Each structure stands twice: as C-alpha cells, then as structure tokens.
A and B are shown apart, each in its own frame.
Chain A
Amino acid sequence: MSDALLTIRDLRIEGRSDETWMPIIKGVNLDLRRGEVLGLIGESGAGKSTLGLAAMGYTRDGVRISGGSVTFDGIDLVNASADDKRNLLGKRIAYVAQSAAASFNPAHKIIDQHTEGPVQHDVMRRDESELDAVELYRRLRLPTPDEIGFRYPHQVSGGQLQRAMTAMAMSCRPDLIIFDEPTTALDVTTQIEVLSAIRDIVEQFNTAAIYITHDLAVVAQMADRIKVLLRGEEVEEADTRTMLDTPKEDYTRSLWAVRAYERPAKPAILKKDTPVISVSGITASYGTTKVLEDVSFDIHEGRTVAVVGESGSGKSTAARCITGLLPPILGEIKFRGEVLPPNYRKRTRSQLREIQMIYQIADTALNPRKTVGDIIGRPIQFYGGLRGRAKRKRVEELLDQIEMPASEYFDRLPSELSGGQKQRIGIARALAAEPSFIICDEVTSALDQLVAEGILRLLARLQDELSLSYMFITHDLATVRAIADEVVVMKNGRVVEQGAKSEMFRPPHHPYTDLLLASVPEMDPDWLSKLLEERGREDIGDAGMEKMD
C-alpha cells in the first residue's frame, strides 16, 4: 500500500467576479501521507479554505478548478463524477468548519446529524452509530457524553459544538479530515480544550489532517509540517520545528514579527489628575439577567485601558453603559469629573460628541449605500455644523490622518474597500466628532495580523497626536501587550483584576488572569503538551470552564 494519501499537483482554482474568472490558487503542490497533519497557514484571501475544500474535490458556487490534479488514494477527484465524490465525502474525507454553530443544522438534534453520514454511507446502522457517537463524545471529553447528542445545536456552547463536529467528522472513521479554522471563533480558554481534544483523537485513529488557520501558535501545536500560503501561492513548506526556528522567506518572518510590536510604556499617572472617564460601581442587567456587577475603572487622558475577558464576561456591556445605550441600574459614569446622565437620550450633544465608538465588524458598521465622504461627513455636519466646502475639507483632513488619500477614496463605497480600509473609515468617522474618548470594541479581531498591526499603529499615532483616551475591548492578549497602558480583566460581569500593563504581565495574578495568560498559545510546538501536563489531564475536559453562551 502506498504511503501517499493525498497528492495535489499544480492546482489552479479560479473564482468568478463580475463575469471574469480571477485566479485564487495559482499552481499549488501538496503531499500528505497517511496519519500526517499538515498545517496550512496564511492571511484571509490567501486561498487556504479554497485549497482545503479542493482537497475534497469540492468547490463553492462561482469557483472552479481550472487546472492541475487532486488525487486521493489513487482517485482523481478533479474528474470524478458527482456520485463517486459523494461516496468519498463524509465517509473517507470529512470536514470540520470554522463556526460549528453555523454548520450544524438548527432544525435537527446533534445526534441525528451525527448518525446521518454513517447511515447514508452504509457504514453503520443507526443504533450502532449512536453508541459510537457517545463513545466519541467521551473521547473528546465532552461533558455528559450520554446526553449531549440529544440536544439541539443551540442548546450547546460553542466549544462543545466544535468538539461535537469533530466527532461527526470522525463518525465514518475517515482517512482524512480537513479542519478549517476550527478554533478561530473560540475564547482562548475554550480553544485549549478543543485543540487538545482534536489532537488526541486524530492521533488515536491515525487520521491524516489538513489544519487550516491564520494563527501560527495554534498550528505549531497541531501540525507535523507547515505550509505557508500567500495570495494563492506557496511561500514555503517545512516541518514544524524548522519552520518556527528558521523561516526562510521574508513573508514568513514578517508573520512572526507582528507579535513583537509593543508600545513604549508611558509615565505613571498622577493621582491628582481627573480621569477622562470614570466608571464607578455600575451594575447592569438585560431584563432580569444581571450582566455587570459593581464594575469600576478609570481611564486617563492619552491612555489606553484594555478590557479583557472571554465572550460573555461583560466587556461590551460595560461599553454600552458608558455610551448610555444601556443605562446601569446602580453606579455612575463621570466624564472629566462630571456625572453623565445614564441614558444617552438625556445627554447633551457635546456630551455625546466626546464619546465615540469603533466597532468589530466594519462591514456592518458602515452604511453600504453611502460613500466614504458621506459616512465621514455625517458626524462632521451633525456635531460640528459644517457644510459644503468646509465639510469636504474636514473629511479630506481626516482621510489624510488615516493614511487614505481623499483623491482616491472620497467617492468610494464601502464595498470597494478592503477590511483594513473599512476599519480605517470607522476610525475616521469616530474622529470626525472630535471626541476625547473612543471605545474600540474588538476592532482588530476580524483582521489579519499584518493589517491588524497597521490599525494598532494608526490608533497609537492618533492617540499621541490628539491625546485621545481609548477603552480597548479585546479577548486577544497579544493585542493587549501591543497597545495597552492599563488592563482590566473581567469575568462573569465582574472585574477580577486591574492595574498597569507592566504589572499585569508579571505574577502574582488572580487565578483567572493566570488562566487567561497561560491559555494564549505560544510558538513553542511543545507548549500545549507542557501546559496539559501541568494542569493535569482530568482537569481539562470537565473543568467546567466552559459556560453556555
């Protein structure tokens, strides 16, 4: 039996945009042996997912394979008939998608979706497959493996669903699994559980895998070999340790370097200074559910306070209280020593002007039918009362500040901009109000590392020039390290620890801060194994660190 499982030669894939076919994958080769895990890494738009799907002989609508070959265990997947491919998919090649919540059908129980593959492919009977599912859930260390399958997807948390999806991929014992960013949407603490569960089960069944991600530290834990992609072409490929220790290409090195960005520390805050924003003792709830309890922190002029925590910890709710969108039940919010009305409707225009927001998803935060000039011009007119030529001049200045020349971008629509550019427009719109305080809600989480770094550098420069204060909401500790002056750690609606960044990254910590810090993947390929050893195996699976969210 040949050792090669998957062979891709000079694969070319094109995608249609406006009647013309544009290349997405430009001649990539790939070899995978049985039981081997290959990491596929690159920014979004590098063609990772397209390549991963092509390894299954599958292309999305509007995408076609225009050349080259994909051979799986001697079968030519490019020219195979639809029926032949269907016989392989799910049975011998399985797929684990990025968002398990979106990829499980909301209308059916998890177990029904699990057993569907084995039953349809005549691998197992329904009852056999059900027993097998429970066994897989147990091996993947899901809590209550006997029952969890009998729930609907919305009744199970994100991290658990992602493991249930891995179990589903395993249901027919495939030879190859494509993991497409399986932990990108998860919190760091949850990510560890999913990573270790995936790694173990792939080892136990000696399944080959292609692990797609944009996170180098994650791929370092999972893969035997790493292939770096850039705009549809291979940059380099090497085994994991060689790749991490001695990357050959400049591009690969630049991916490594992003993590090194860090702002110099600022002088200590003077006690007598009045903070720009002072949150004291706020408690807030949605309906009857309490989501914030007795939260207090200060933000001083020209400083960045990073608010970190997992999803559901109350970070964004705190921001909603500050902006007045969600009036708190108790406590007060002061702006430069002056108490703000809890509800934004009661605030004066100048109070509103001082506090602006930048959102996580620039795509949905910008009106798709307005041009860049209109989007930025609107707050200029609303708050500054400028019109006509004066307004246009101000928009041009702002575009200058965000390094997007007005001559080129003034009349563009959001759809004609890249993700990073859209986020810059979001920044310019916030600046247009001339605020002294800006809330940045996960502004870089949807962006690639290099683009994100550009945004962080821009925000840092604007802060220095305009002495802005930032509240930087994030779950990414690398971002915290890069930009924060002070850090507030939140969990379950409470502040568990706060202080200067230099203190936060030095022990001793609150146990939860410790857990967060320790959960951030590191480039060391042995990091996960060491961590799991330290924590003790039994501690990981049912530690109850996951909550329903």
Chain B
Amino acid sequence: MGTVAKIIAQRLGLGILTLFIVSIVIFTAVNMLPGDFAESILGQGATPEAVAAIRRDLGLDQSPVSRYFDWLGGAVRGDFGSSFAQANFASFTGSDSGSGLTSVAQQIAPRFANTMFLASVAAIIAVPLSLTLGVLAALFRNSVFDRVVNIATLSSISSPEFFLAYVLILVFAVLNPWLPSLSNIYEGMSFPERLEKTLLPALTLTLVVTAHMMRMTRAAIINLLASPYIEMARLKGLSPMRVILRHALPNALAPIVNVVALNLAYLITGVVVVEVVFVYPGIGQLFVDSVKIRDIPVVQACCLIFAAAYILLNLTADILSILSNPRLRHPR
C-alpha cells in the first residue's frame, strides 16, 4: 500500500497548491471588477469624502497585497470577513457600533446547505440513471434502444438549461399541476416538503448532466470490448450482461469516475441559471446578487467554495481511479 499512500499524498499536496493558486486568481479577478462597493452603494449622490470614508472603513484603501494576505489568513481559519452589504457603516451613519455586522460565513452557510441539498438530490437521480443507461447502451450498442438513448440525452444536453427548466415547469407544474414551480424553500421546512419543492430543479439538472456521464460510460465500456480478456470471457460462454458488468466495467471505472466527478462539481457550481428560474435560495443566487452590488467578501468566498468543490471532487476522482487499478492496489 506504500505506493498508493504516496500517490494520494502527492495528489493532496497538489490539490492544496492548486487551491492556493486559485485563491490568488480569484482575489486578483474580483479586485479588477470595474467600480467599487462604496460608489455603487452611495449611488449618484456620492461625495468623495463619503466614498473615502466607506473605503477606509472597509479597508479598501490598503494595498492589494496586504488585503490578500488578510483575506487568505482569515479564510484559512474559516473567517471570510464581513459582508459589505450587511455592514453597519459607522462613519456613514454616525453611530459607532460595529456589532450589527453579519459575517460572510453566516450568510453563506444556509445558502450553501441548500445548494448541496439540490446537488445531492440531482446526483442521486442522475448518477445511477446515467450509469445504467450507459451500460445498457453498451450492451445493446447500435440497437434502437442505444440510438434513442443517445439522441435523447444529446438533445437534453444541447438545450439551454432555462429552456429545459421551463419545459419541465410547463409539463409538471402548469399542464399537470403535480409539482410546485417555485422552489422557495426555507429553514424549518419538513424533509418531504423540501424534497417536493426541490424535485423540478433537480430533474432539470439531471437532464443537463446525464448525457455526459452516460456517453462516457458507454464509450469506456465499448472501448474495452475489443480486448483479449473480453474475448476470453465470451469464449468461456458467459452471458453478454456478465461480460460487460464483470469483465468490462471494472476496467472502465477510471474514465467514468472522472466524468462523474466533473459533473458533480458542475451540480454545485453551475446551478445559477436553474436557481434563478426556480427562485431556489442557493449559493448561485447569492453569488450573482453579490457581484451586482460589488460585495467583494461574499463574491470571493463563493468563488473559493466553488474552486474547493471542483478541486476536492476531482481529487476524489483521481484517487478512486488510482484505487481502481489492481496493479497499484496489489503490488507484486
């Protein structure tokens, strides 16, 4: 197991390094956004003095390098700073209490939980569905079933998300009022209720991610069907299903796991449009709102969470595909 542990340690190290580099990119990019919070909140009547006061208050007058390290130091401890939008501007309002500050972490936490809930529901539907479809399509390749599945998944991935969302609303909420078209979930909601409200956005996301995973499963399996060990399995008189499930699939896991991870990451980070359509209070909406008002700490924190999700999931996929290789699991 020595080699595996070493490889995993290496990947972890690489993941952390990547996250660090990404944090620099995020900080630089966010700070290059035109306009700033002070100007956008004060509107047209802003006096230079007021703008300067707010900037000083928020530490925007510091050098970018020192601000970056302040931010990074906080982020490592889990403190993403305070949201500008919720800040109680002492210098502006005249009162000097800073107690009304809402921390970014407090603001993001419930939203992030909602997003994870939506992503989980979508993943629980989409992953088994696409793996099953992929295996069946490989088994019955070039049949009518294979073609129908391919065309259906391709059309769903080729349509814009909001279009799919409105079609689903039309079918499942308007024409047949089975599911709510608004997903305004809130704290204290019971689980079944939550699930019911989340189902339509989750289905939309399923339609978006299934094609990719299903097609990779199909391709990875078919790729192996010409290998000598598959021929051997057939020549042992095994059933086609057994040949695919037992002999092809275990060797096709590495590419499949990678695509699944990529799509899971998308479920967390790419849901903005779906959230907007269904008015789902997830992190995507918060992110867009914060960009609009230049609420830099929130934007940065969201970006960092998205990046971390991507890196973590890809890291997991890497490690899983390493573990799926028996040569590494069982060295000589």
Which residues of A approach B to under 8 Å, CB–CB?
A: 53, 56, 58, 60-61, 85-91, 94-95, 97, 99, 102-108, 116-117, 120-121, 151-152, 154-155, 168, 548
Contacts and interface: CB of A to CB of B under 8 A. Distances in A.
B228 interface: yes
A86 B326 contact: no
B231 A60 contact: yes
B3 to A, nearest CB: 13
Interface string B212-244: 000000000000001111011111111100100
Contacts of B229: 102-106
Contacts of B238: 86, 90, 116-117, 120
Of A58, A85, A116, the most chain B CB neighbours within 10 A belong to A116
A106 B326 contact: yes
Contacts of A94: 235-236
A118 B122 CA distance: 42
Contacts of A104: 229, 232
Nearest to B327: A154
Contacts of B236: 89-90, 94-95, 116-117, 120, 168
Contacts of B247: 105, 107
A161 to B, nearest CB: 12
| Interface residues on chain B, size class | 20 to 34
Contacts of A155: 330, 332
B237 A120 contact: yes
B234 A89 contact: yes
Interface of B: 226-229, 231-239, 242, 246-247, 250-251, 326-327, 330, 332
Given A90-B235, A103-B229, A105-B233, A152 B330 contact: yes
Contacts of A86: 237-239
Contacts of A105: 229, 232-233, 247, 250-251
Contacts, number: 79
Nearest to A118: B236
Contacts of A87: 237
Contact of B228 (A53, A89, A97): A97
Contacts of B242: 120
A116 B235 CA distance: 12
A87 B239 CA distance: 10
Contacts of A107: 247, 250-251, 326
A241 B223 CA distance: 45
8 contacts: A60-B231, A86-B237, A87-B237, A88-B237, A106-B229, A106-B251, A116-B238, A152-B326
B142 to A, nearest CB: 11
B326 A154 contact: yes
B143 to A, nearest CB: 15
A99 to B, nearest CB: 6
Given A90-B235, A106-B326, A155-B330, 11 more contacts: A58-B235, A86-B239, A88-B237, A95-B235, A102-B229, A106-B229, A106-B327, A116-B238, A120-B238, A120-B242, A168-B236
Contact of A103 (B231, B251, B327): B231
Contact of A121 (B232, B237, B250): B237
Nearest to B230: A105
B281 to A, nearest CB: 44
Contacts of A102: 227-229
Given A88-B237, A120-B237, A154-B326, A103 B228 contact: yes
Nearest to A87: B237
Contacts of A53: 235
Contact of A548 (B228, B246, B332): B332
Contacts of B235: 53, 56, 58, 89-90, 94-95
A102 B332 CA distance: 17
Given A97-B232, A103-B228, A120-B238, A154 B250 contact: no
B246 to A, nearest CB: 8
**B233, B247, B326 — most chain A CB neighbours (10 Å):** B326
Contacts of B232: 95, 97, 103-105
Contacts of A56: 235
Contacts of B327: 106, 152, 154
Nearest to B224: A105
Nearest to B229: A105
B238 to A, nearest CB: 6
Nearest to B239: A86
A397 B233 CA distance: 50
Nearest to A58: B235
A97 B234 CA distance: 13
A547 to B, nearest CB: 12
A176 to B, nearest CB: 12
Contacts of B326: 106-107, 152, 154
B323 to A, nearest CB: 12
Contacts of A97: 228, 231-232
A105 B243 CA distance: 11
A177 B330 CA distance: 32
Contacts of A99: 228
Contacts of B234: 58, 89
A104 B235 CA distance: 12
Nearest to B252: A107
A240 B149 CA distance: 56
A58 to B, nearest CB: 6
3 pairs of A and B residues whose beta carbons are closest in the complex: A89-B237, A90-B236, A90-B237
A162 B231 CA distance: 16
Contacts of A60: 231
A94 B236 CA distance: 7
Most buried by B among A90, A99, A107: A107
From B233, B236, B246, B327, residue with most partner A Cβ within 10 Å? B236
Contacts of B237: 85-91, 117, 120-121
Nearest to A155: B332
Contacts of A103: 228-229, 231-232
Nearest to A83: B239
B225 to A, nearest CB: 8
Nearest to B249: A107
A250 B228 CA distance: 35
Nearest to B324: A107
A117 B238 CA distance: 8
A163 B233 CA distance: 17
B140 to A, nearest CB: 14
A105 B227 CA distance: 9
A90 B330 CA distance: 28
- Report which residue of B228, B247, B332 has the largest number of chain A beta carbons within 10 angstroms of its beta carbon: B228
A154 B233 contact: no
A112 to B, nearest CB: 9
Nearest to A151: B330
A275 B162 CA distance: 77
The interface centre, meaning the residue of B226, B232, B246, B326 with most chain A CB atoms within 10 A of its CB, is B232
Nearest to A56: B235
A90 B238 CA distance: 8
A58 B238 CA distance: 13
A406 B229 CA distance: 42
A99 B227 CA distance: 11
Nearest to B226: A61
- Tell which of B227, B229, B234 has the most Cβ of chain A within 10 Å: B229
Nearest to A60: B231
A348 to B, nearest CB: 38
A108 B250 contact: yes
A97 B330 CA distance: 25
Contacts of B239: 86, 120
A437 B330 CA distance: 43
